[in-house]
Chains A and B, each alone.
Chain A
Amino acid sequence: MALILKIAWRNIQRHRGKSLVVGIIIFLGAMTMTIGNGVIAGMDRGLKENVIDRFTGDVVIISAKQDQDNVIFTPMGRDIEVIPGYEKVKKVLEGKKFIDRFLPVAKGLTIILNENGDMSYALALGVRFDEYRKMFSDSTDLVEGTLLKNDDRGILVSTGNRKRFFEEQNFWVIPEGFSFNEKNFMKESSKKSGVIDKRTSLVLMGGSNENSTMDIRVDVKGVMKFKHLDDFWNHFNIMDIESFREVYQYVTASDTAAVIPKEKKRILEKDNLDDLFGGEVLEKVETRKQGYDVSTLMGKKVVQKKLDVDSGAYNLIFVKLGKGADAEESVLELNAAFKSSGAEARAIIWRDAVGQIADLSAIMRGATRGFVFLIFIVAIIIIMNTLSMAALERVSEIGMMRAVGAHKSFISGMFLSEMTVISIIFGCAGIIAGIVSVYILNAINITTENRILELLFGGSVFRPVLGIFDILKGFAYLALVTLIATAYPLRVARRITPLDAIMRD
């Protein structure tokens, strides 16, 4: 062994050029692989932080009637089914220890109207805002105005939607009670000149294609921006759940309680736009029970003093799991529990709920893996070639060793040792360089607004990470590449006979 290593080491030095070529290839391969692993791990972490922790939770509960899992960005903004009997579902969720917290919401497409007949589309999330903040504390930045309180009526408009409304309908949204912020306007809007039509409330119509909806005017309380993956999330405005239900003609808690805080609501019947824009308020509450059986929605709590929002309708529940809980297992367990308790709900994993984001990120991950794989293949081919050539150049030497009594195993050992030494020196250097690069990439804080890059980054900041496991995996791949790349040249070298050496003379 000592002899093999001695010969191997001296051969590396003797064939310095070739050793260096192979070494540099291994170095670059190991470095690329390490960075690639860091990017993928960072992307996974980013997606976890920016999708799971800031928007959907680990598990999403949908109605049992909902056939498409892809509920967040439904194609064409299609409606999703209401979860009937939320109370029952809630009970199941509250009974599960592996659940950290959950948030029922209503999600749908709204049409923003104006008196000229122009319209814009925006997704809306109807929530009790304090609850929302408890669940997703870190997901939005307030740009202007104030946040919502639990029982406030109002809407938070995303900067993305504000920009779209301005482009499509020529009005600039500012929060009620706040003045025009010129700096933000200059920053956000694409058109800078002309008279600016400023509005502090929006007229919304439910974008449902199945239920009849209602037009309501909602005050803009604030303008916000999603901290990460804003390009995706900014299609959402966040509004109070009661207003949402009115727009969508879901039975509201207010109906239940028969308390109508007049100053907060300005509800109009559909097709009464003139009144809406005229500012005249028609205090008329009409519950139309399209498709939903009031009793299933409301349970038995028909008469209550306090607004019991939960007795109204929701169509999504975001669920965050406790530490260590496995999402797939939790989904199975929840579905079993829903079934046995008769709750008409279904649990799905976050990935299925945000179909497009998950698909795109899977593509990005695949592309990154593919890139690393390609580098591997190229590295293997170059190394294989270089080593095969090295073997052929050393026919006389190897043949003479065989003639003098060296077994094939000695030749293999010599070749493998050479490759192993090169691979350890340059491969380790490459992995270390990769780790350093990952740290540097982390430190220089690369940010992006590009939605594709955001997916690759798993957020707006490029934060590749490397765990011990990723690093160990890197070493394993390095060993594998070394073995694969050496296999063929080794075969060539082992097949050299003493006769080959003599015939060369």
Chain B
Amino acid sequence: MNIIEMKSIKKDYPLGETVVHALRGIDLDVEEGGFISIIGPSGSGKTTLLNIIGCIDIPSAGSVKIGGEEITSLDDRRLTNIRLFKVGFIFQTFNLIPVLNLLENVEFPLLLMKEGGLTKGEIRKRAQKCIEEVGLGSFMDHRPAELSGGQRQRVAIARALVTKPQIVLADEPTANLDSETGATILSLMKHLNETEKTTFVFSTHDSDVLKYASQVIKIRDGHIIDIDGPGAAKKMKKKAGPAKRGTR
């Protein structure tokens, strides 16, 4: 099943007198459980694409379905609910609420889910488990300011996963980290992708990442110019159906 279906997505930004065409017609389907990397030069539209998938931006034209639900016509309240229940986010920086400690930060989205049906105890347990999975079990009561950049990104991953979302989106999650820490973060993501079967979509400049990806989507000037990758190739053979290519 396709967890993401995008058809003829365009995004224009008005910039003074002119208009910037950030996305010029993207067609993209993403299968459940994938580990998808978006690469492309600066200004090619990676962030814009991820924002639209994550329901924090709306396309100028085209249709987007997340888990089968068309999102382009939803109001703020519904979009917020999709972000809360279906999507997990990992930003480049500033992922955490400074006044909450690590455990509270990870609990945060669960506490927002009023209809989630979890008790306080269950929420705590689940948050603790996620934190332990990212290897920060001994830092539960530290505030974000007391952690290193890599540790903060790990907390962000734990928070993104704690709600058991269908998709986790990450916009250059390793850009602010040194390459060694970046590599551990990526392998952690890959590990969680495999164990939790969560779909990951992330953008990166880092070509090392390619070896992890099930699919690599190359974009330039708002177009998808190629979809490929070792994982993608394997899967394509298995399922005998190529992912849709961006039209030029």
Interface residues of A (CB under 8 A from B): 3, 6-7, 10-11, 13-14, 396-397, 400-408, 410, 497-499, 501-502, 504-505
B92 contacts which chain A residues (CB < 8 A)?
505
Interface magnitude class on chain B: 20 to 34
B80 proximal to A (CB < 8 A): yes
Cβ contact of A404, chosen from B98, B104, B109, cutoff 8 A: B109
Give bound CA distance, A405 to B81, whole Å.
Answer: 6
Q: Is the CB of B77 within 8 A of A407?
A: yes
Say whether B84 contacts A502, CB under 8 Å: no
- Can you name 17 A-B residue pairings with CB atoms under 8 Å? A3-B108, A7-B100, A10-B100, A14-B99, A400-B97, A403-B83, A404-B108, A405-B81, A405-B83, A405-B85, A407-B112, A408-B76, A408-B80, A499-B57, A502-B47, A505-B91, A505-B92
Is A397 touching B97 in the complex (CB atoms < 8 A)?
Answer: yes
Report chain B residues within 8 Å CB of A400: 91, 94-97
Closest 6 CB pairs of A and B: A405-B84, A10-B99, A498-B56, A396-B94, A405-B83, A3-B111
CB of B135 to closest CB in A, whole Å: 22
Quick check: B112 and A410 within 8 Å, CB to CB?
Answer: yes
**For residue A405, which residues in chain B have a CB less than 8 angstroms away from its CB?**
80-81, 83-85, 109, 112-113, 163
Q: Mark B51-95, 1 if CB is under 8 A from A, else 0.
A: 100101100000000000000000011001101110001011111
Residue of A nearest to B160 (CB): A404
B97 touches A497 (CB 8 A): no
Task: Verify B109–A403 contact, CB threshold 8 A.
Answer: no
Q: Which residues of B in the span 21-51 have a Cβ within 8 Å of any Cβ on A?
A: 47, 51
* Contact residues in B for A7 (Cβ distance below 8 Å): 97, 99-100
CB atoms of A505 and B94 under 8 A apart: yes
Most buried by A among B81, B98, B99: B99
A408 to B79, CA, bound (A): 12
Binding site secondary structure of chain A? helix
Task: Tell me the nearest residue of chain A to B88, going by C-beta.
Answer: A404
A contact residues around B95 at 8 Å (CB): 400
Counting CB contacts under 8 A, is B159 at the interface? yes
Question: Does B171 touch A at the CB level, under 8 Å?
Answer: yes
With A and B bound together, what is the CA distance between A250 and B77 in angstroms?
Answer: 86
Given contacts A499-B56, A505-B91, 5 further A-B contacts (CB under 8 A): A7-B99, A14-B98, A401-B108, A403-B56, A407-B80
The listed residue (B85, B94, B98, B112) touching A406 by CB distance below 8 A is: B112
Which residues on B sit within 8 Å (CB–CB) of A403?
54, 56, 83, 89, 91
A residues less than 8 Å from B47 (CB atoms): 502
Verify B94–A404 contact, CB threshold 8 A.
no
Nearest to A410 among chain B residues (CB) is B112
The reply to whether B56 and A497 contact each other, CB–CB distance below 8 Å, is yes
Shortest distance between the CB of A415 and any CB in chain B (Å):
14
Q: Chain B residues near A10 (CB, 8 Å)?
A: 99-100
> How close is B171's CB to chain A, nearest CB, in angstroms?
7
Residues 88-128 of chain B, each 1 if its beta carbon lies under 8 Å from chain A, else 0: 01011111111110001000110111000000000000000
CA A499 to CA B54, docked complex, whole Å: 11
- A404 near B159 with CB under 8 A, answer yes
Bound Cα distance from A380 to B103, whole angstroms: 37
Question: Are A502 and B83 in contact, with the CB atoms below 8 A?
Answer: no
Q: Give complex CA distance A420, B93 in Å.
A: 31
- The answer on a CB contact under 8 Å between B91 and A402 is no
Whether B99 and A11, one on each chain, are in contact in the complex, defined by CB atoms closer than 8 angstroms, is yes
CA A3 – CA B92 in complex, angstroms? Answer: 26
Question: Which residues in chain B, 146-186, are within 8 Å of chain A measured between CB atoms?
Answer: 159, 163, 171
